[in-house]
Amino acid sequence: MKSLAYAAFTLALLATTAQAEDAIAPDRIINAAIGDWNKDGKPDLALLVASAPGDDADNPIGIYIYLRGGEHSLLTLAASAPHKVWGTVGPDGMVGQEPSIAALPNGSIAVTSQNDSVGRDRWQQTLTLAYRNNSFIVAGYTYTYRDTLEPDSSYSCDYNVLTGKATKSGKDLKAEARTVSIQDWQDDFGQKVCGNGE
């Protein structure tokens, strides 16, 4: 009987620890946007959240999206995508590397990352997120690049992920139409279309 009670206690402890690791600490929220993502007339929430201290991931910022619904109109987590955004995560970080999240007039969400401060390669990347079929997907990918030493190599690229239409510095590109959730999105999908600066 004691071993059964100990096993139950251990499982409860593990579940509590897992929930604590998944919890969003208030001091790790670095940006937020409010909008009506599912177009039900109620304000919803999207957050950019820095990884826990000591997490050395290449993309240290997660995207968490909440929808308001139900009888009590409380926010509930609709999408959790850790390690999706590159950028500075603390007040002592480099200026010009701050990510942002914003509500767009059409109900979509724009998530922007950038390097406008270090080295000759300066860039800005924006993911446009949309709510479709009860899921948040990447509907658009925009990438702007400039070389501070060779201005002629600068370019901008827009990729409509849903239709496959893409343009790079005004020229049409061939691209694949995709439906990719924010959880499954990899920046490589857009970078391959935009040519990785080539």
Summarised one tens digit per residue, pLDDT across range 52-98 is: 877 777 889 999 999 998 778 899 999 999 999 999 887 676 788 89
Q: What is the pLDDT of residue 186?
A: 96
In a domain, 3, yes or no: no
**Res. 142 pLDDT band, cuts 50 70 90:** very high
In a domain, 76, yes or no: yes
CA quadruple 114, 118, 119, 120: dihedral, nearest 10 = 50
Share of the chain above pLDDT 90, in %: 66
For residue range 90-125, list pLDDT tens digits in order.
767 678 889 999 999 999 999 999 998 887 889 999
In a domain, 8, yes or no: no
Q: Is the pLDDT of residue 38 over 50?
A: yes
Domain that holds residue 49: 25-197
**Res. 196 pLDDT band, cuts 50 70 90:** low
Instruction: Give how many domains the chain has, as a whole number.
Output: 1
In a domain, 138, yes or no: yes
C-alpha separations of 40 from 36, 69, 82, 176, 182 in Å:
7, 9, 26, 31, 21
The bridge status of strand 171-173 relative to strand 61-69 is: unpaired
Q: Is the pLDDT of residue 8 over 70?
A: no
In a domain, 61, yes or no: yes
Please give the Cα distance from 2 to 125 (Å, whole number): 56
In a domain, 105, yes or no: yes
When the pLDDT of each residue in the chain is averaged and rounded to a whole number, the result is 86
In a domain, 19, yes or no: no
pTM of the model: 0.84
